[in-house]
């Protein structure tokens, strides 16, 4: 056996910020060197950030990524870090590019490189390209066909990229055939509720398949709708969990591994191997240090406990919101605070994300607002210490009514749009990012006003059903005084007044209005939305699953009709596997009605 | 040689309207029978409409498509049309479906069927799946691996689907190997400016490659952002154009062909053939009528002239707008009419699309509106006979100003949003679809107000640069009295007053405002937008192409910053290959700046 101390750099890059990401790479490599690591690994596409979408098709961007890689390799050496091998993801392209109809221009690659001694030792690229859910990689990448195996301290280390772990055949299969002692996977794997359990099982399965230990380093941070949760880990060849990083925070996960020594008879060079997926992959062997170092004392391996369900969801919302604000250059947010549960939770998430002093609430009472709306909102403002102002909208409503005869829904929408006009105006005047408070239940059923309550730059709770909004509000109140959760602001009392949690939901756009006059009870509606939207279940399957037939028909009709509004909704952190936005694609013009519905 | 009279049904289906599309299939098959055709062909995915996006992943929808196919086959026979073979596209799925990570659930197929004698004779599916530009087919389809060859009147007819023509290898290659006498391609090929020329060249090339005549039937109609232009055609084995349908209108294109008789020794059955693209395709031979019919006199083949450039673009806008209104169940539209060129052209397109009586204009003067704004708009209303009303916004602006201190851009945006609130209110009250008037130059540079002038349900000119807006306005004025262009309303005088065309562009949101205070001259800006957005050219490439370096930097900065607004823009007809929306994907959070720009 040979000893190897690896450092997994679970770091937060920004898409397009090549210089900033290179700075992070140098900084975290220095930390790894100070920790005595023999190898430090950064996530997939770390130098460019992930996902780059169509930037991959722009020649200037690909070239800048290539130059950034060479530059950071030289800089590591210049700063005395050249002896510590670094594995990082970056954007590359094929040297010889075939121009073919429908193939991504310039043949871009989702690439990985080993940096060593101021140079690039070996390059490879992702073999299995995901093209489902949030992933569109067939649009922008071509497939890699090489497995690097680098001898380090006498251990053969193979590197693969993210989806290569999720598909059968390909690089993992070749890793087994190549007899590697460690499989290092670099990832940009977005958070999904409960995905951490799936990841550990997957890593364990692939470690057994490859017949060696597996080190998994994942990105952390928010990028538009995606939230990368970290959760980096190391498992042994038998699938045992050896080390695990925390979620939603940057971390240098250090693990001391005892690994099988490589066969000294196997020399550097290239060997094609059947990848058992209909392709051939070339094993590309290099050697950095053929023999093991002298024995040294191992450090204890940190094994973080995954967060419980609600803490995990809340952590994702806070990180997604903070990074959207920060990475887009905003320093403060503004939101309409109605006295209802949705805007109350959004304000709380914002205060946790960027601090109460940077949160600005506007209270916008109308003639239909209840007394409690303003007093409850003011109580929240006081408890959290956020900024607030009151802008009554009565005069503006009357000015429109002087020119237009609107009633019913048109009149209700008018009020919602006047409110949006106020917060957008204050945003334009003062430079705040507007947060909008719609939840997934409203968004799914179209129970919101286009250009009204749905207006804004970021929608922190767009992927939470209403029942989840209530559960998270209660969870957050219960999490006061929890220094173990670093993504929470240290409020001294419950940040959300109980009155806001227990009141009956109402849009307050007409006298006595209640959500349940227009929608089913949320405890019945929400599971149906989950089954219809996330699971693509049809009418008969929904009824067979126990949902009320009349309700199924009503909700299917609402959800199908609301498609247009959802297309215009701001981005927000994804929590579930199939959400609105990039990963649910249904035509706006569409006459399809589920069988049995009218 | 054997004679064959084929009918290409260039028809307009609606996504999801299985019953309505089946009705169209029966109706057009009857017309083909009355015309004495031996075979009638409908476009790709005709029974479901195209594109179905994620509806393909819903089991109930796939099953409904399968039932609709069987049902329409039986119905054709019941209505006395069973003897006329029909080829149509529909949605199917593999009988045995592999559940694999990342593969589309249920293994949906973009399928084609021959219907004959009340039954389905043979089924196949698209082999080459496009996954670029507006296409996302790797998400939702798996690949077909069968080439049907059906003997009809003694001629072997092979059928392929759309992208199968555009890629090398695969079904076209196998068609040649199979010795077919006619290659029938069914298509849902969206309009792009100048694509008609590409299509003819492609058909000629593939006919020569397959060694037989090629019949190409394309869909017509608008579907969200896509406009299918028809342009169905038939070319001979040497690539000569034999028949061609018109653009932007439904048509039954009949062609009498003299084709090589099949080898009687080749019998029905299945034969695997190397498809020269790394796969094997099974030739699936059937026979409907082994011998040629008695000789008959041929009818002359219609060969439509493709429309000139501006007529073609205008036709696409009219059809795209009409179908978006109609297929979404609206009967009328409303728009703000500012007296400027953009809203004037949108009003004219709308009047052409659905008739002036269904068009409602709102004139919304403010304290900054010029005298001409109202009088020019009123002149347009008079010439076109559309409906109008005047809603001054001064009082509403003052009501906001009573509560808020806004200046600069915030004050300008306020006015734009108040106007949007008025037309959205009238839309909600009266059931009109809101048309919005932004053009591609504004959209690209962010020179518009989110939730203001950009608000609405459909954006007819979102893919036109400002210079193209002017050119089309002049073209439309010059096209008065052109009964050969059936998509134009028969106005008796020029529909757009000259004053509107020649006036200097201004948003009129502050005193003396002109577009050129904020933007470069459009004649300089527009070609740069085209190169940067459509061609993905980087900074250095743009400068090398002759654009002014300072302007390049300024425009890149504007376009990159405007990404968020564009994400929230309503759909509109696509004219160019790479537009905003589904087919330009750049992260909102993105720090990448082109080298040399700041």
The residue ranges of every structural domain in chain B are 2-287, 318-567
Residues in chain B: 598
Summarize the confidence of residues B369-391 as an average pLDDT.
94
Q: What is the ipTM of this complex?
A: 0.93
A to B CB pairs, distance under 8 Å: 272
- Name A21's Cβ contacts closer than 8 Å, sequence gap at least 6: A13, A14, A46, A47, A48, A49, A68
Q: A483-495: per-residue pLDDT in tens?
A: 999 999 999 999 9
Q: Which of the four pLDDT bands, split at 50, 70 and 90, describes residue A453?
A: very high
Least confident of A329-343, A573-587, B345-359: A573-587
User: DSSP E strands: which ranges in B326-401?
Assistant: 333-336, 359-363, 387-390
Q: Would you say A97 is a known binding-site residue? A: no
Among A60-74, B245-259, B532-546, name the one with the lowest average pLDDT: B532-546
User: pLDDT (tens digit, 9 = 90+) per residue, A539-594?
Assistant: 999 999 999 999 999 999 899 888 888 888 888 898 877 666 666 677 777 877 77
Where do the H-state alpha helices sit in B103-249?
137-140, 163-166, 171-178, 195-210
For B222, nearest residue in chain A (alpha carbons): A589
Position A245 pLDDT exceeds 70: yes
Q: Sign of dihedral through CA atoms A355, A360, A366, A372?
A: positive
Instruction: Tokens 């914002």: give the residue.
Output: A350
**pLDDT value of residue B240:** 97
HSE-CB of A194 using CA atoms within 13 angstroms: 2
Q: Which residues of B touch A421 (CB under 8 A)?
A: 400, 414, 417-418, 421, 451
CATH superfamily of B2-287: Carbon-nitrogen hydrolase (3.60.110.10)
Instruction: Dihedral sign for Cα A489, A491, A494, A496, please.
Output: negative
Active site residue A44: yes
pLDDT at residue number B194: 80
The predicted model gives B362-377 an average pLDDT of: 91
Are B469 and B345 within 8 A, CB to CB?
yes
Cβ of A451 and B404 within 8 Å? no
Mutate to test the interface with A, among B396, B585, B589, B596 (most CBs of A within 10 A): B589
What's the angle, vertex CA B150, arms to CA B249 and CA B239, rounded to 5? 55
Of B502, B483, B504, B480, the closest CA to residue B493 belongs to B480
Band of pLDDT at residue B597, cut at 50, 70 and 90: low
Q: How confident is the model at residue B580, as a pLDDT?
A: 67
Q: Quote the CA–CA distance of A161 and A163 in Å, as a whole number.
A: 6
| Contact by Cβ (8 Å): B218, B263 | no
Contact, B420 vs B455, CB < 8 A? yes
Helices B408-430 and A408-430: angle between axes, nearest 10 degrees: 170
Residue B143's Cβ-count burial label (10 Å; 0-12, 13-18, 19+) is middle
With bands split at pLDDT 50, 70 and 90, how would you rate the model's confidence at B432? very high
State the binding site of B for L-glutamine: 132, 189, 195
Chain A: closest CA distance from residue B388 (Å): 14
Catalytic residues of B: 44, 126, 162
State the helix-helix crossing angle for B466-478 and B309-327, rounded to 10 degrees.
Answer: 100
Give the mean pLDDT of A144-164: 97
Specify the 3-state DSSP secondary structure of B270: strand
End-to-end CA distance of chain A: 68
Q: What is the largest CA-CA distance in chain A?
A: 90
Q: Which helix (H) or strand (E) holds A190?
A: none
Cβ distance of B167 and A405 shorter than 8 Å = no
Nearest to B536 by CA among A108, A161, A131: A108
pLDDT at A588: 75
Q: Give the pLDDT mean for A213-232.
A: 96
A355: left (phi over 0), alpha (psi -120 to 50) or beta: left
CATH class of B318-567: alpha beta
A336 assigned binding-site residue: yes
- Sequence-ordered list of residues with C-beta below 8 angstroms from that of A336, at least 6 positions apart, any chain: A343, A361, A362, A363, A364, A419, A420, A422, A423, A437, A453
Q: A596: annotated binding-site residue?
A: no
Report the mean per-residue pLDDT for chain A. 94
Residue B581 has pLDDT above 70, yes or no: no
Collect all residues with Cβ–Cβ distance below 8 Å to B321 and sequence separation of at least 6. Answer: B222, B349, B350, B353, B354, B435, B458, B460, B573
**How far does A585 lie from chain B, in Å, by closest CA?**
5
Average pLDDT, chain B: 93
Q: How far is A425 from chain B (nearest CA, A)?
A: 5
The residue of chain A nearest to residue B452, with distances taken between CA atoms, is A451
- C-beta atoms of A131 and B130 within 8 A: no
Q: How far is B92 from chain A (nearest CA, A)?
A: 16
Q: What is the pLDDT of residue A214?
A: 98
Average pLDDT score over residue span B269-275: 96
Beta-bridge partners for A229 = A220
B366, B591, B594, B596: best to mutate for the A interface, most A CBs within 10 A: B591
Q: Is the dihedral of CA B335, B337, B343, B347 positive or negative?
A: positive
Average pLDDT over residues B383-407: 97
Q: Which residues of B are part of a known binding site for ATP?
A: 336-343
Q: Among the options A162, A327, A412, A462, which is catalytic? A: A162
Identify all chain B residues contacting A224, using CB atoms and an 8 Å cutoff. Answer: 587-589
CA distance B435 to B570: 9
How many residues would you count in chain A? 598
Q: Cβ contact (<8 Å) for B421 and A424?
A: no
Cis link prior to A415 (omega < 30° from 0)?
Answer: no
pTM of the model: 0.95
* pLDDT value of residue A598: 57
Q: Do the domains A2-287 and A318-567 sit in the same CATH topology, yes or no?
A: no
Q: What pLDDT, on the 0 to 100 scale, is given for residue A582?
A: 60
Q: Which pair of structure tokens corresponds to residue B369?
A: 């509106």
User: Tens of pLDDT along A356-387?
Assistant: 999 999 999 998 888 888 999 999 999 999 99
pLDDT score, position B253: 98
State residue B8's pLDDT score. 98
Residue B325 confidence (pLDDT): 95
Q: What is the pLDDT of residue A398?
A: 97
Minimum mean pLDDT range among A579-593, B53-67, B237-251? A579-593
Residue B98's pLDDT band, with cuts at 50, 70 and 90, is: low
In order, the DSSP letters of B190-216 are: B--TTHHHHHHHHHHHHHHHHTSEEEE
Q: Say how many CA atoms lie within 13 Å of B434 toward its Cβ.
A: 28
Please tell me the distance from the alpha carbon of residue B537 to that of residue B148, in angstroms, as a whole number. Answer: 43
Backbone CA torsion sign across A529, A535, A536, A539 = negative
Contacts with B23 from chain A: Cβ below 8 Å? none
Q: With 80 as the cut, is the pLDDT of residue B118 above it? A: yes
Give the containing element (helix H, strand E) for A297. none
Query: Which strands make up the sheet holding B2-10, listed edge to edge?
Result: B119-125, B108-116, B86-93, B39-41, B2-10, B251-259
| 3-state DSSP percent of chain A in helix, strand and coil, to 5 | 35, 20, 45
Alpha-carbon distance A392 to nearest alpha carbon in chain B (angstroms): 8
């Amino acid at each position: 056996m040979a000893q190897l101390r690896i450092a997994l750099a679970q770091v937060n890059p920004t898409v397009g910020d090549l210089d900033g990401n290179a700075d992070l790479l140098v900084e975290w490599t220095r930390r790894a060197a100070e920790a005595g690591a023999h190898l430090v690994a950064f996530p997939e596409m770390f130098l460019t950030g992930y996902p780059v979408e169509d930037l991959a098709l722009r020649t200037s961007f690909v070239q800048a990524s290539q130059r950034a890689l060479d530059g950071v390799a030289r800089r590591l050496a210049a700063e005395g870090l050249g002896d510590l091998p670094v594995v990082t993801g970056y954007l590359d392209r094929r040297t010889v590019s075939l121009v073919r109809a429908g193939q991504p221009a310039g043949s871009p690659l989702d690439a990985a490189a080993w940096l060593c001694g101021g140079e690039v030792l070996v390059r490879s690229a992702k073999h299995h390209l995901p093209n489902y859910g949030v992933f569109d990689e067939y649009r922008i990448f071509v497939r890699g066909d090489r497995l690097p195996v680098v001898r380090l301290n006498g251990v053969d280390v193979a590197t693969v990229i993210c989806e290569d772990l999720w598909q059968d055949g390909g690089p993992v299969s070749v890793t087994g055939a190549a007899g590697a002692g460690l499989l290092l996977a670099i990832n940009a794997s977005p958070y999904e509720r409960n995905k951490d359990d799936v990841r550990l099982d997957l890593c364990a399965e692939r470690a057994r398949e490859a017949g060696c230990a597996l080190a998994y380093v994942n990105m952390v941070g928010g990028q538009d709708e995606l939230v990368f949760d970290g959760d980096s880990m190391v498992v042994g060849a038998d699938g045992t969990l050896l080390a695990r990083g925390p979620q939603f925070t940057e971390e240098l996960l250090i693990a001391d591994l005892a690994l099988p020594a490589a066969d000294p008879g196997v020399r550097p060079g290239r060997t094609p191997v059947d990848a058992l997926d209909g392709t051939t992959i070339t094993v590309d062997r290099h050697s950095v240090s053929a023999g093991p170092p002298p024995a040294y004392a191992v450090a204890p391996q940190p094994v973080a406990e995954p967060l419980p369900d609600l803490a995990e969801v809340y952590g994702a919302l806070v990180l997604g919101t903070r990074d959207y604000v920060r990475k887009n250059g905003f320093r403060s947010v503004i939101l309409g605070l109605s006295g209802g549960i949705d805007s109350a939770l959004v304000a709380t998430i914002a205060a946790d994300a960027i601090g109460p002093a940077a949160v600005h609430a506007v209270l916008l009472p109308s003639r239909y607002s209840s007394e409690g709306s303003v007093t409850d909102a003011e109580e929240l403002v006081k408890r959290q210490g956020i900024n607030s102002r009151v802008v009554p909208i009565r005069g503006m409503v009357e000015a429109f009514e002087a020119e237009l005869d609107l009633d019913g829904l048109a009149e209700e929408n008018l009020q919602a749009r006047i409110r949006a006009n106020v917060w957008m105006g204050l945003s334009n005047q003062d430079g705040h990012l507007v947060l909008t408070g719609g939840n997934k239940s409203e968004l799914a059923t179209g129970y919101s006003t286009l250009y009204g309550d749905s207006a804004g730059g970021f929608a922190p709770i767009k992927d939470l059903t209403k029942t989840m909004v209530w559960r998270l509000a209660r969870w957050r109140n219960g999490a006061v005084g929890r220094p173990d959760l670093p993504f929470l602001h240290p409020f001294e009392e419950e940040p959300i007044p109980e009155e806001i949690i227990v009141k009956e939901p109402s849009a307050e756009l007409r006298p006595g209005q209640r959500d349940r006059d227009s929608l089913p009870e949320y405890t019945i509606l929400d599971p149906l939305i989950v089954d219809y939207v996330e699971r693509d279940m049809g009418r008969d399957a929904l009824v067979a699953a126990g949902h009320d037939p009349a309700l199924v028909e009503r909700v299917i009709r609402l959800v199908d009709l609301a498609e247009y509004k959802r297309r215009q909704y701001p981005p927000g952190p994804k929590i579930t596997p199939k959400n609105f936005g990039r990963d649910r694609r249904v035509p706006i013009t569409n006459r399809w009605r589920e069988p049995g519905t009218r």
